[in-house]
Every structure is written in C-alpha cells, then in structure tokens.
Structure 1
Amino acid sequence: MCERFKVEPRCGTRPPCGDDARLVGGARRVAAARLEECGIGVLVDEALLVVSELLTNALVHSGTSEVSLVLAVRDGFLVITVVDGMPGAAQLKEAGDDAESGRGLELVAAVAKACGGTWGTRDAGAETWCRLALPAAEAQQ
C-alpha cells in the first residue's frame, strides 16, 4: 500500500491544522482495512500506533507539503514507512514528566521492540520507518 497526502507546510511545533489532523485518522482507517484485507489483523493495533506517530511527527516537524505512507511485507516483517522528503532525521528525545508531547518516537521504539522489530531513518531523515515482525503463520504467506 502506498498513499500520498498533500499537507499544509508548517514551521516549528504547532499542532497540525484541522485538515492535516484528519489526514492521520483517515490514514489509520485505510491502513487498518488494508492490514485486515491482507490477513495481518493481528498487528493492527501496533501498526496503527506507529502510523499515527510517524505521520504526526512528519506533519509537525518536517515542514513538508506532501507525505507518503507505505505499508509492505518484506522478509517476515510488516514495514511501515513515512516519507516526507525533507532532510533532518527523526531522533528520540527525552520528554519531561510534565511535557504534553515529545514521546511519539519513544512509543514507536517500544512497539517495535515489543514486536521483535526496529525503527530508524534513511535518506538524511526524509524517510522514517518501523519494522514489526509478523507472527509465524503470517510471515509464511
């Protein structure tokens, strides 16, 4: 699955505007349907959390005008990739106890680890990805 979304470029850490915020929900619905359709429903909750966090991170921090979401099955993993085309690698940061945001990549890292996978960036940060191991039955399909 590959979906492209036009978004409003922004600077700083303002929350996404209404249309862009709704984009994340729409992308989650499309991803959930696609995963169920492909028989990977067992990873829907984990995958949707990753989709939400990676898309939101791209919308808030990249300043891009287009974001792509790619879901693929490769080598026994569900690979979720968000491409924003902008330089600047996503990095884990420590959010303070009172912080209202800043934990998204911590969540992605925790989900990836719990699912036997990993996450990272490539192309100078233009892509952020997460790999979630498929349960044995799904990995053989």
Structure 2
Amino acid sequence: MTATATSSAATAQQGLSSASSARRPGTADRGLEFSIPRSSRPGLAGADEMSEEDRLWPGRVRRIGREQLCRWSLDSLCEPVELCLSELVTNAMRYGQGPVVDVRLYRTASHLCIEVADGSPDRPVLGVAGSDDESGRGLVLVDAVAESWGVTEDGTCTWCRLSVLEEQP
C-alpha cells in the first residue's frame, strides 16, 4: 500500500507544474492546479465509505500546499492554508460526485486563493457539530481562518481566500 500512496503522490506532484504553466503561460510561479483521481465511489457521504487511498489525499495536499507556499516565501500562511486545503479536500472526497477532485492554489497581489471542485451541485453549509461529534467542523474552521469563503453558483467548487502579507527575506 505504501508504494501505491507514494506513486500517487509523485504522480500528482509531477503534474503540478505542467498544469499551472499550461493554463496561464508566463505565470507558472503564480499558482498550481491538479486533479486527484477518486478511488471511492463518488457521492458516498462519510469517512467510512472513503477508500484508504482517498483518506491519504488531504495529508498529501497539505504537503503540496506547504511546498508551494515555501516557494512563494509565504511560510507564515502554512498553517491556515494547510487547514483550509485539508478541510476542503476532505469534504470533496467525502461528498463529491465527480470522478476527480480538482484543486487550485494561486496568489494575487493581495490574496492567496484556494479552490476545490468536486463535481457535486450540492452546496456545502456550515455545520453545527456537537461536542462529541467527530466531524462537522470543517467549514467552521475554514470560516474562522479564511478572510472569505464561498461556493460557485453551480455548487461544484468551494473556495476560500486568505490575505497575503509579503514576508521579508
């Protein structure tokens, strides 16, 4: 199983730079985007129905996000970005309906933007988790750390923005 996980992570990382530079020539360092193939049956609600492979992706995406932030010298954003990426990807893997989950991380002059598309027209909502609940807090956490978040009109993509303050070398 470890070989598969490493292979999948390496495959995703290999496609990152080509996907971002192919999308917008001349701005390869402004962002990255990649697709995560789902191995669970799309649309199953809950962690119990997620495959072992799909459960590994939020951690992989956190590491990929951290690497990109280090390239941009935005180390101070690592923790909130990792949290947002992890929660949005986990939700997409659990509740999404498409065969892939698309992740996009890019920056503007003033913001770092995260977009996660899962192919589901069902709009996510802030949950109200009880003190003993093991899930249901993801979007509440995103709401707490991101400057703003939302869902595209068609419901297939959840996004968030965090303010960027350039770090001094």
Partner secondary structure for residue 128 of structure 1? strand
Runs of 4+ in 1 over 6 A off after TM superposition: none
The residue that corresponds to 1:5 in the other structure is: 36
Larger-Rg structure = 2
Q: TM-score, normalised by structure 1?
A: 0.88
Q: Secondary structure at the match of 2:85?
A: helix
TM-score by length of 2: 0.74
Q: Is contact 2:58-2:87 (8 Å) kept?
A: no
Deviations 1:11-70 (A, max 9, x none): 122343210111221111111101101111110111000000000011111233200110
Confirm or deny that 1:39 pairs with 2:73: yes
Show CA shifts across 1:69-112 (max 9, x none): 10011240000110112211111021112211100000000011
Aligned partners of 2:115 and 2:157 also within 8 Å: yes
- Aligned partner of residue 115 in structure 2, secondary structure: strand
- How far apart, CA to CA, are the structure 1 residues paired with 2:46 and 2:155? 17
Residues of 2 paired with 1:83 and 1:35: CA distance?
A: 21
What is the letter of the counterpart of residue 47 of structure 2?
R
Identity %: 35
Partner of 1:14: 47
**SS of residue matched to 2:44:** coil
3-state SS, counterpart of residue 145 of structure 2: helix
Matched, 1:87 2:121: yes
Gaps of 5+ in 2: 1-31
Q: Specify which structure has the bigger relative contact order, considering alpha-carbon pairs within 8 angstroms and separated by 6 or more residues.
A: 1
> How many angstroms apart in 2 are the aligned matches of 1:17 and 1:127?
22
Mapping 1:102-117, distance limit 5 Å: 102-112=136-146, 117=147
Say whether residues 1:78 and 2:108 are aligned partners.
no
Structure 1 residue 126 and structure 2 residue 160: aligned?
no
Report the residue type matching 1:90 in the other structure: P
Amino acid in the other structure paired with 2:45? G
Larger fraction in helix: 2
Query: Once superposed, what is the RMSD of the aligned Cα atoms?
Result: 1.3
